[in-house]
Amino acid sequence: MARVSTSLSPKRGEWVKGKLIGSGSFGTVHLAMSKSTGGLFVVKSAHTRAELAALENEVEILKNLEPSPYIVQYLGSERHGDDLNVLMEYMAGGSLADIAEKFGGSLQEDVVRLYTKEILKGLKYLHGNGIVHCDLKCKNVLLGSSGDIKLADFGCARRVEDLKNKSLMKKNTKSLEYVSGTPLWMAPEVLRNEELDFSADIWSLGCTVIEMATGRPPWGASKHDSDPMAVLLKIACGDEIPKLPTHCTKEGLDFLRRCLDRDSRKRWTCEELLRHPFVSRDSSVTTPPSSPKDAASSPVSVLGISSFDDAYDLEEPESPEGNDLSVIKPFTLCKDGRTMPRHGDECALCSSQNWITVRS
């Protein structure tokens, strides 16, 4: 039961494809124009099995959602043999990664506050509909020409109900269920193959705020972090959080700590974070209740096969030197709490300079 307005969805043959404006693990993105209205939109196209799976997941997530001012709008899809075209709203500003690069490499805190509040509203909408985004980062947040912020790229998204069902199946069959996302933005418990719920998006939000404020990926600011496997082990099993920006206000630092608690049960929810003075300018911070979260979680596995790039952006942010990683194996949790690479379940993370998005 699609929620797309027929007046907004160009019919087959009623639009023309323009120049390539992006490419990545989902396929390619072209600018497009409606022949009847002259309006602009974008077309995401899949040509391989892996690209098709990511786009089909995005369509399945978006087509059953009511339109939201905080989510990039799905306009329809077309199949041509084995190829899939997905028509999406055009966001003229590009991604927040683009914007940060064009405005000096990072964003001022007043702007970070504004964007963070809008991202939170998008996450609140998704979580209210039982959806975990699973790949929140600056490259997957798009900006309109009037300053509107919308979440994009739902190729990795998961429904909590689906995760519950697959968790039961996994217990019965001992099969692996791969999680998707970008490792440097992923929550520790996800990398440890323990759970995936709404709190994983909150951790990624904290990483995204750091990215906006510094212009760099989380965990990627020191030479010590140049070994990708060492970084993944540190995120999954260490007791650290990403380095917080030194120039942030006390409100900003407190907000980040509420997002980046290594105990997923203690992370604030979207509703609680929207009342934080960093985004609300309230005079006090309301401490969240100590009762357990209602959000469901399920055991999952991690690090599927993929190639990298997102949204409309063709350029990549700078990453730590020496991260030419060709193979990472999924982690398995040892009895003493450490993680070790799994043997036999190899997972190629083929990157051309940067950390990549992994999709199942």
- 81 and 179 belong to one structural domain: no
Instruction: Give yes or no for residue 24 having a pLDDT over 60.
Output: yes
Q: Give the number of other CB atoms < 10 A from CB of residue 147.
A: 11
Return the percentage of the chain with pLDDT > 90, whole number.
56
- 173 and 189 belong to one structural domain: yes
Q: Name the region of 134 (left: φ>0; alpha: ψ -120 to 50; beta: rest).
A: left
Say what the pLDDT of residue 26 is: 74
Say what the pLDDT of residue 131 is: 97
Q: Is residue 320 part of a domain?
A: yes
Average pLDDT over the chain reads 78
pLDDT: is 250 or 303 the higher one? 250
Listed residues 40, 69, 89: the one ending a domain: 89
pLDDT: is 107 or 359 the higher one? 107
Name the one residue in this structure whose structure tokens are 């500003």.
Answer: 93
Instruction: Give yes or no for residue 17 having a pLDDT over 90.
Output: yes
Looking at the structure of the chain, the number of domains it has is 2
Q: Is residue 7 part of a domain?
A: no
Q: Is residue 267 part of a domain?
A: yes
Q: Is residue 313 part of a domain?
A: yes
User: Which phi and psi angles does 227 have, rounded to 5°?
Assistant: -95, 110
- 99 and 83 belong to one structural domain: no
- 72 and 101 belong to one structural domain: no
- 155 and 195 belong to one structural domain: yes
Instruction: Give yes or no for residue 326 having a pLDDT over 70.
Output: no
3-state SS assignment for residue 198: helix
pLDDT tens digit string along 29-75? 999 999 999 999 999 998 888 889 999 999 999 999 999 999 999 99
- 105 and 234 belong to one structural domain: yes
Task: Please tell me which residue in 82, 98, 110, 135 is annotated as part of the active site.
Answer: 135
Q: What's the number of CA atoms in the CB half-sphere (13 Å) around residue 227? A: 5
Contact 225, 231 (CB under 8 A): yes
Looking only at the bridges linking them, the beta strands covering 27-34 and 40-46 are antiparallel
Residue 288: pLDDT band by 50, 70, 90 thresholds?
low
- Between the two ends of the chain, the Cα-to-Cα distance in Å is 25
Residues 6+ apart with CB under 8 A from 16: 32, 33, 35
- Percent of residues in the chain assigned helix, strand, coil, to nearest 5: 35, 20, 50
Listed residues 69, 89, 109: the one ending a domain: 89
- 78 and 109 belong to one structural domain: no
Q: Is residue 357 part of a domain?
A: no
What is the domain range of residue 225?
94-348
pLDDT tens digit string along 166-195? 655 455 444 445 467 899 999 999 998 888
Q: Give the number of other CB atoms < 10 A from CB of residue 166.
A: 16
Q: Counting every residue, how long is the chain?
A: 360
Q: Can you give the CATH number for the domain in which 85 is found?
A: 3.30.200.20
Q: Is residue 356 part of a domain?
A: no
Listed residues 54, 89, 124: the one ending a domain: 89
- 113 and 258 belong to one structural domain: yes
How big is the CA angle at 86 (ends 85 and 87), to the nearest 5 degrees? 120
162 token code pair: 């689906």
- 246's enclosing H/E stretch is none
- Give the whole-angstrom CA distance, residue 283 versus residue 295: 29
Q: Is residue 337 part of a domain?
A: yes
- 47 and 107 belong to one structural domain: no
- Give the whole-angstrom CA distance, residue 109 versus residue 117: 12
3-state SS assignment for residue 199: helix
Residue 348: exposed, middle, or buried by beta-carbon count in 10 A (0-12, 13-18, 19+)? middle
Q: Give the number of other CB atoms < 10 A from CB of residue 241.
A: 20
Q: Can you give the CATH number for the domain in which 190 is found?
A: 1.10.510.10
- 56 and 129 belong to one structural domain: no
- 224 and 204 belong to one structural domain: yes
- 254 counts as catalytic: no
Q: Is residue 55 part of a domain?
A: yes
- 141's enclosing H/E stretch is strand 141-143
Contact 309, 25 (CB under 8 A): yes
- 60 and 208 belong to one structural domain: no
Contact 279, 117 (CB under 8 A): yes
Task: For residue 243, give the nearest of 211, 265, 270, 267 by alpha carbon.
Answer: 211
pLDDT: is 169 or 308 the higher one? 169
pTM across the whole model: 0.78
60 alpha-carbon distance from chain centroid: 17
DSSP state string for 303-359 = ---B----TT--S-----TT----EEPPEEE-TTS-EEEPSS--EEB--SSS---B-
Residues 6+ apart with CB under 8 A from 258: 267, 268, 272, 273, 276
